[in-house]
Structure 1
């Protein structure tokens, strides 16, 4: 580990699991380069500082009521956090700036792009802010195009197969659908995020050039700021956990007993939920496939026998393992895992690419439909069920990827993509070069 260089970077995450993980990975990467790290976090979903003893933590008042903290509307919650945290964030940063020594001054703030109000806070303190977008580059390109999507009336065509002319290879049904209690709130959030990002001193992506070159060119064209695709973060960050849920280690011991490439790993992230009928279809699809499976059913989704259809647990007793949460990176790297049935959140998609595991895509909302389209139609490393939760479709997809010729062809393409994900981090690789440029930029602040 390098000695501290006398420069500190302050990180501010959006307090949702899928946003916390990549930000902490990025913080670890900068720490390994000699920067000191401070994390400003909200009381809501605060990570455990004991897991990161090399960081300095500051907790601010998030202004959320008990009712706010249980909000199911993630769009409304994100906007609320931007409104209620701004003053507390300003006070915390101001104190850090005034109390910092000449030997270790704050270089910049790196905050989640969805924490858009942090840009005005940083500006008021004459502090440089770099935005971190935790989605893929292709999903961000669609965010930039969202006003055009609205203007052209594409939202009324979201159930059709028609192509989006301005965003190939996306179809109208791939345009992100995000439920909110208030009409127009999603567009408002994207507008705030894009405007603040354009005012920032740079934009970081947890992706790499070879994976999303066309979308990267589009974003370069639309933004007049520096862009740093320096992922995949988790391949160069230590394996410390920022998980808000307890990982069940029996996942690994169970996998140890399975044959190579024989298991389908099933997980839909920290937020996606299923109606009862869909859950039953998913369960019987896995059972009828005849293949071993490791299934993450979160505690909030219910894990008791009454949650599963009658006869299911008896049917899969010897070849199915259900856990509340799994150490996903370790699971995907396990030689027994031959397929990943996923919601296609960006973290999951990228982790699957890095481990060379073919995907069966069952996107639920937000950027997941975009990621799934790229998996199936551009990179051709998975099958896209396109939200179709029907037992026969799930059974066919699992058997196809694990047992049939199509699965072998997908696995071969995935192996090539996995190699590119590794090579981009080597000396002279695209992500390595981009990260070097970013480090030099921050040192110059």
Structure 2
């Protein structure tokens, strides 16, 4: 490329999320928001993720409004036929194999000038490369601020005995010495990877490394707003002074585009999405429970049947997103379940959370409690049922049920009678739960309006990048 052409090109923002499906959705929304602000953005993907993008999403039509949005693929070091089902193995390969390739591309004529790099905190080599070439790096975390604060304290408490208390004593005891969460969380609510008493375990090392990388970031971008996490954010500023709360990013993007909604990136096939929306059109307002417990979750046959029985026995309509490969085991399904599903249910391989949750027929949302999904439900004012299992889901679930009071935490239970009762409690509720969900919807949507806090913070972020 000619040197004069390179020198005349505007500096670009490099957005490089870890190649896991759930971070890519919000990171893609963030990249579009930056494009709308006038920045040139290059979104970096591994070939495997890029293939999924082309297969399941109308990427050409989505990117057509942007002349300043570019896609770039970079090798993850794994063979093409590798299943990439183990996130830890994939991230390790990226750390080992992708680092030199990434640096070589960033310093090449093909890349051009770079104003900053934005990653999601999982890939330490991005910070290494950014420092080596003297480019600022921002962390766009997919964790909720509350989960970050809890786990940070788990590894950084001034009194060593507190760590032991959280890990080894009664898991029903309330966590008392972490500012901002008094009376909300118990030791048992910590993510499973944080409950190990071995601080040298691989999972503990990954978390501690991620927190250490934050100190090298110019700033930390959160997909949240002050209305949800204001008190926790004030605590996090003690070790991350430059915080940018620009969420909910999917709603924020829609506002900036002057549109009513935006389709998320990778988690649905176009045909299935149309089919389930057409089915929802036939249902009464707030009569359907939406069930999406994330694609990577593997269910046993017993778990599938308990959940299925609970859905059918509740007597409510349900839309269930269930990947065929997410079910372990086989066997016959009782005729009663088939009959109840045919009468009141719809099962699809994939769907758009944003579009489904915005539909008038949805009266509840059953989710694992991953942060993006939780925030999508809150932004639509839909009461949430959380069935947490790992990572930050326990923390999110407790804040949904105890702090914000917009949902119910099933606390890991998957019993048909509990599921049936919980579904009825949520879908038939006309009191505090629905009222709180509606109020919180108003607050988070106000934050991304033109005079809202998240709207102003994004403008501040854009100015900081320019400067």
TM-score computed with the length of structure 1 as normaliser: 0.90
Tell me if structure 1 keeps the 8 A contact 2:263–2:352. Answer: no
Q: 1:351: which partner in 2?
A: 376
1:333 paired with 2:358, answer yes
1:204 paired with 2:241, answer no
Counterpart pick for 2:119 among 111, 123, 143 = 111
Counterpart pick for 2:21 among 9, 17, 22 = 17
Structure 1 residue 314: Cα displacement: 1.9
CA distance in 2, matches of 1:99, 1:389: 50
1:413 paired with 2:436, answer yes
Within 5 Å, give how 1:57-72 maps onto structure 2. 57-65=71-79, 69-72=83-86
CA distance in 1, matches of 2:307, 2:71: 41
Tell me if structure 2 keeps the 8 A contact 1:296–1:322. Answer: yes
Q: What are the Cα deviations for residues 183-210 of structure 1, in whole angstroms up to 9, with x where unaligned? A: 7111111122111111111110000011
Using the TM superposition, name which of 22-31 and 161-170 deviates more.
161-170
SS at match of 2:93: helix
CA distance in 1, matches of 2:330, 2:361: 27
Structure 1 residue 70: Cα displacement: 3.5
CA distance in 2, matches of 1:258, 1:252: 10
Counterpart pick for 2:367 among 338, 342, 363 = 342
CA distance in 2, matches of 1:436, 1:399: 43
CA distance in 1, matches of 2:389, 2:174: 20
Q: 2:5: which partner in 1?
A: none
Q: 1:161: which partner in 2?
A: 172
TM-score computed with the length of structure 2 as normaliser: 0.86
Tell me if structure 2 keeps the 8 A contact 1:113–1:193. Answer: yes
Distance 1:309 1:77, change over 3 A: farther
1:381 paired with 2:415, answer no
Q: 1:231: which partner in 2?
A: 247
Q: 1:29: which partner in 2?
A: 33
Q: 2:202: which partner in 1?
A: 185
Counterpart pick for 2:108 among 85, 92, 95 = 95
Q: 1:433: which partner in 2?
A: 456
Structure 1 residue 20: Cα displacement: 0.3
Structure 1 residue 89: Cα displacement: 1.2
Tell me if structure 2 keeps the 8 A contact 1:138–1:215. Answer: yes
Structure 1 residue 309: Cα displacement: 4.5
Gaps of 5+ in 2: 1-7, 255-261
Give runs of ≥4 in structure 1 deviating > 6 Å.
Answer: 179-183
Q: 1:316: which partner in 2?
A: 341
Tell me if structure 2 keeps the 8 A contact 1:146–1:187. Answer: no
CA distance in 2, matches of 1:397, 1:240: 29
Q: What are the Cα deviations for residues 210-229 of structure 1, in whole angstroms up to 9, with x where unaligned? A: 10112111111122x41101
Structure 1 residue 230: Cα displacement: 0.8
Distance 1:163 1:99, change over 3 A: closer
Q: 2:132: which partner in 1?
A: 124
Q: What are the Cα deviations for residues 156-195 of structure 1, in whole angstroms up to 9, with x where unaligned? A: 4487211122332221111111499997111111122111
Distance 1:191 1:309, change over 3 A: farther
Distance 1:39 1:208, change over 3 A: same
Tell me if structure 2 keeps the 8 A contact 1:230–1:432. Answer: yes
Q: 1:365: which partner in 2?
A: 390
Q: What are the Cα deviations for residues 324-352 of structure 1, in whole angstroms up to 9, with x where unaligned? A: 11111000000000000111111110000
Structure 1 residue 436: Cα displacement: 1.6
Distance 1:187 1:36, change over 3 A: same
1:290 paired with 2:304, answer no
Tell me if structure 2 keeps the 8 A contact 1:157–1:173. Answer: no
Q: 1:173: which partner in 2?
A: 188
Gaps of 5+ in 1: none
Tell me if structure 2 keeps the 8 A contact 1:263–1:338. Answer: yes
CA distance in 2, matches of 1:360, 1:307: 28
Structure 1 residue 304: Cα displacement: 11
Tell me if structure 2 keeps the 8 A contact 1:109–1:128. Answer: yes
Counterpart pick for 2:144 among 136, 142, 150 = 136
CA distance in 1, matches of 2:409, 2:111: 53
Structure 1 residue 377: Cα displacement: 0.3
Q: What are the Cα deviations for residues 88-131 of structure 1, in whole angstroms up to 9, with x where unaligned? A: 111121115x752xxxx421111111122200110111111111
CA distance in 2, matches of 1:158, 1:15: 37
Structure 1 residue 390: Cα displacement: 0.5
Distance 1:355 1:185, change over 3 A: same
Distance 1:202 1:89, change over 3 A: same
Counterpart pick for 1:84 among 78, 86, 97 = 97
SS at match of 1:192: helix
CA distance in 1, matches of 2:244, 2:32: 17
CA distance in 2, matches of 1:99, 1:301: 39
Q: What are the Cα deviations for residues 368-423 of structure 1, in whole angstroms up to 9, with x where unaligned? A: 11100000000001011101000111100111111145xx3211111110011111
Tell me if structure 2 keeps the 8 A contact 1:75–1:186. Answer: no
CA distance in 2, matches of 1:75, 1:254: 38
CA distance in 1, matches of 2:97, 2:85: 15
The total of aligned residue pairs comes to 432
CA distance in 2, matches of 1:180, 1:63: 32
Query: What's the RMSD between the two structures over aligned residues?
Result: 2.6
